[in-house]
Amino acid sequence: MMDMIETKRLRPDDLPEQEFLLPGNRSCAGCSMSLYYRMALKALGKKTIITVPASCLTVLHGLYHKTSVKMNVVHTTFETTAASASGIVAALEAKGLGDEITVCGFAGDGGTSDIGIQGLSGAAERNTNFIYACYDNEMYSNTGTQRSGQTPYMAYTTTTPHGKLEHKKNMPMIMHAHGIPYIATSCSSYPQDVYAKFKKAKLFTGTRYIHTLIPCPPGWGFPTDQSIEMGRLAVKSGIFPLFEIIDGKMFLSPESERCLDPSKRLKVEEYLKLQGRFKHIQPEHIEYYQEYVDNHWNFINQFL
C-alpha cells in the first residue's frame, strides 16, 4: 500500500480546477469549513455518495429545492452519519457497486464525538467500507456555539460561560483503538494537505477517518480574514498535530514535524490571545494549557 501513495508536495495550482461547491451558498464569510469541503470534494470526485447530519454543512447545502453542491448527497439525522453511510455501503454492495463508488460521511465535531460516536464506533468495528470525515470547529456552531466534546480547555461557549473545564476528546486516537486502516488529521489552512489526505484515504478499503480542524470566525471570535492564520497557529503551536496512521503506524505530517522539538513549538498563548473565546483566560490557565500541550507531545512520541 505504501508505495502506491503519492508523497509529492502539491503547489496551489496543482489542485484541480473543477469545483463541486457552488458560490453564493449559506456559509458565513471566511468559513473554513467551506474551504475544507471544497478541497475534500475535489479529491473525492463525482463518483461519491455523501451523507451529512444536521450541522453547518446542511446549512451550506441549502434549502429545498436548490443546493450549492454538485454531488450526490443524503441528508440524515444528527446521530446517524455512520449508520447512514453503512446503509448506503450495504445497498451499493448488494448492487455490485461497492468498489466503484466512494461513500463519505461528513459531520461536525458534535455530530461525531458526542451524539454520533456509537454508530461510528460500530461501523469501525465492522470495518465498513466508507470514509468518515469530521470537520472540527470545536463547538456546536450551527445552533449558536454550545460546548461539544471537542471544545478545548477554557474556551467560552454559551454553555461554558466561564470557559470549559475539560480538555478536548482525542477522537483520532479513539478511532486508532478500533484498528481501522487509515486515520488522518488535517487542517483547512493547509488545503493541499487536505486534498492529498482525502486522495490517499480513497486508496484504502474499510473504515477511514479524517479529522480536520476548521477555524470558525464567528464561533471563535476572530476577524474573517484570519481563518487561515488561526489554523496555522494551532498547528505550529502543537495544539493540533497533523499526522496519519496507516495500517497502525503513525507518521507525522511535515507541517507538524517541527513540533517534535519543544523549543520550536510556538507558545500556546500566541494562539489563544487572538481569539475572543479565550478572552477571560488567566496566566495560570495559559501555563496549565502549555503543560498539557507539551505532555500531549510526549504521548504522541510513544507512537512514532
Partner 1 sequence: MVDYKDPKSTIAAVQVPSEGEAGKTGSWRSFKPVFNPEKCILIKSEKARCHICWMFCPEVAITKSRPPTINLDYCKGCGICSTECPHGAITMKKE
| Residue 9 near partner 1 by CB under 8 A | no
| Residue 32 near partner 1 by CB under 8 A | yes
Please tell me the number of Cα atoms within 13 Å of 254 on its side-chain side: 9
Site for ligand TPP in 118-137 (CB under 6 A): 137
> What order do you get walking across the sheet with 102-108 strand by strand?
72-75, 48-52, 102-108, 131-136, 208-213, 182-187, 243-246, 249-252
Bond before 65 cis per omega within 30 degrees: yes
Contact assessment for residue 33 and residue 27, using Cβ atoms and an 8 Å cutoff: yes
List residues near ligand SF4 by CB under 6 A: 27-28, 31, 33, 56, 137, 141, 216-219
| Residue 149 near ligand TPP by CB under 6 A | no
Residue 218 contacts which entry, ligand SF4, ligand TPP, partner 1, none (Cβ below 5-8 A, type-dependent):
ligand SF4
| Residue 241 near partner 1 by CB under 8 A | no
| Residue 241 near ligand TPP by CB under 6 A | no
- Judged by CB under 6 A, the stretch of 8-16, 54-62, 123-131, 266-274 that binds ligand TPP is 54-62
| Residue 67 near partner 1 by CB under 8 A | yes
| Residue 237 near ligand TPP by CB under 6 A | no
| Residue 289 near ligand TPP by CB under 6 A | no
| Residue 227 near ligand TPP by CB under 6 A | no
d(C-alpha 262, C-alpha 149), whole Å? 27
Q: Which of 20, 36, 37, 78 binds ligand TPP (CB under 6 A)?
A: 78
**If you write DSSP's letter for every residue of 235-290 in order, what string do you get?**
HHTTSS--EEEETTEEEE-HHHHGGGSGGGSPPHHHHHTT-GGGTT--HHHHHHHH
Q: For helices 117-126 and 81-94, give the axis angle rounded to 10 degrees.
A: 40
Which CB atom, from 76 or from 189, has the smaller least distance to ligand TPP? 76
Which CB atom, from 28 or from 180, has the smaller least distance to ligand SF4? 28
Which CB atom, from 17 or from 284, has the smaller least distance to partner 1? 17
Q: Which of 56, 61, 202, 216 binds partner 1 (CB under 8 A)?
A: 61
Contact assessment for residue 192 and residue 10, using Cβ atoms and an 8 Å cutoff: yes
Contact assessment for residue 229 and residue 190, using Cβ atoms and an 8 Å cutoff: no
Query: By the criterion CB under 8 A, which residues form the site for partner 1?
Result: 11-13, 15, 17, 19, 21-32, 34-35, 38, 61-70, 191-192, 217, 223-229
